Structure 1
């Protein structure tokens, strides 16, 4: 099953049921996503000064073609 684009009217009505209370929670969530995608290598960079992070992995993820506009 592929990911389907939502109609614009539906997309603007969506709200997340999850909230991120800290940078640590964000990093943990991204790490879980990487492991769920089958990653065997994960690199995490956290910058507490600016409240940012980068998580890179080699998991399967979503194929780039799934993000192309419908023809």
Structure 2
């Protein structure tokens, strides 16, 4: 199965960006949120990239795109 960078809507705090990145890199979402918070508040870098990721990253709705849909 191919890894895709998507916003995770199961473990969401604001938009699911950090949990999606954590899922992609297989790390704890809290670690990604802490790093992103430090970048955003201490250095000022992080707010604009977060908003861009929020807008660009597709939503992971839990379905596999490879599965055949049967009605």
Q: Aligning the two structures, in what range does the TM-score lie when normalised by the shorter sequence?
A: under 0.3
Give the helix-richer structure, 1 or 2. Answer: 2
TM-score by length of 1: 0.25
TM value normalised by structure 2: 0.25
- The structure number with the bigger radius of gyration is 1
Higher share of residues assigned strand: 1
